[in-house]
Amino acid sequence: MINRLTILVIQAFTLVLLISINAPAQDRAALEKEIGALREQLNQKEAEFLAPSAGDRVAFADFLRQPNTGLARLMPRERYRDKFTVREGGAYYSFAKLSNSYDDNPQIGFEQGKLHTGFSGADFGFLCSLGDVALEGVGLDSEGVQYLAEFAAPTAEASAREQYRKIGQGFAIGNHFYTGYLPATVGHSYVLRSISYRESDVLVAFRIVRKDTDGSVVILWKKLKEFPIPFLASGR
C-alpha cells in the first residue's frame, strides 16, 4: 500500500517534470517577445540615424513649409550596405514613398561619392547638375529642367532600353549635360527625372546642403511634377 509520503514524493516529481517540460516553451515565447521588442528598438534607432538632423530642419524650416518638399539623408553605399536592416544601408531614397529602403522604389542612390539613378529592368532616369543655384528658384521652365519636364516616357521596351544606354553615355542639350551618374557636390543643385515602369515617374529638384562626418550627404528637395505611372506596351 502506498503511504502518504510516497504520494507526496510522486506528486512533487510530477510537478518538477511538468515544469521542466514546459520551461523551454515558456523561455522560447519570452525570447520571441524580446526579439520583437529589440527589432522595434533597432528600427527606431535606424530611422533616427538615417534622418536629417534637427539643426537641418531648423535651418530650412521656411522652405519645408512649402508643399512637396523635404529633407533626406543618403548614406555611402560602399560603407553601410550591410550594416542596417534597411536594404542597402540607407544609400537610396524614394521621393514617392519617402523611404531610404531599396525595396521602396527609390529614385536616387549614393555610392563612391556619386549620385546615380535608374536601377533595374527597363527603368531609367536623368540627372543634371544646375550648379550653385538656389533651389527656391528652380521650376519647370528653368534651364536644364524644361527638357526633362517635356520628355515623354517611351512605352516600347526597346526604346526604353535604348534611352537607358543613351543616358549611360551621357548627352548634352544646350548648356546642360544629362546622365545617370554625377559627382555629389555640396552646394550644388540638381534636377532628376526618374521613370520606373509600373511604379512611378517623378521630376525632382534637390540641393546637397551638407556632408556629414560619416560620409553621408543631406539633400533638400522639392517635387516639381509627378507624371502618370508609365507602362511598357506588350509585344513591342
Question: Which amino acid belongs to residue 216?
Answer: S
**pLDDT tens, residue order, the chain (236 aa):** 445 544 444 454 555 555 555 555 568 888 888 887 888 888 889 989 999 999 999 999 999 999 999 999 999 999 999 888 899 999 999 999 999 999 999 999 999 999 999 988 889 999 999 999 999 999 999 999 999 999 999 999 999 999 999 999 999 999 999 999 999 999 999 999 999 999 999 999 999 999 999 999 999 999 999 999 999 987 54
Range of the domain at 164: 52-226
Please tell me whether residues 65 and 44 are part of one structural domain.
no
pLDDT of residue 120: 81
Domains contained in the chain, number: 2
pLDDT of residue 236: 43
Q: Does 234 map to a domain?
A: no
Please tell me whether residues 85 and 98 are part of one structural domain.
yes
Q: Does 123 map to a domain?
A: yes
Please tell me whether residues 33 and 69 are part of one structural domain.
no
* pTM for this prediction: 0.83
Please tell me whether residues 93 and 25 are part of one structural domain.
no
Please tell me whether residues 95 and 135 are part of one structural domain.
yes
pLDDT of residue 40: 83
Can you tell me the distance from the alpha carbon of 218 to that of 93, in angstroms, rounded to the nearest whole number? Answer: 11
List strand residue ranges (DSSP E) for the chain, in order: 69-74, 92-93, 108-111, 114-116, 124-131, 171-173, 176-178, 181-183, 189-196, 200-211, 217-226
- Rg of the chain in Å (alpha carbons): 27
- Beta-carbon count within 10 A of 49 CB: 16
Which grid cell is 102?
531599396
Q: Does 33 map to a domain?
A: yes
Q: Does 73 map to a domain?
A: yes
Please tell me whether residues 9 and 64 are part of one structural domain.
no
Q: Does 236 map to a domain?
A: no
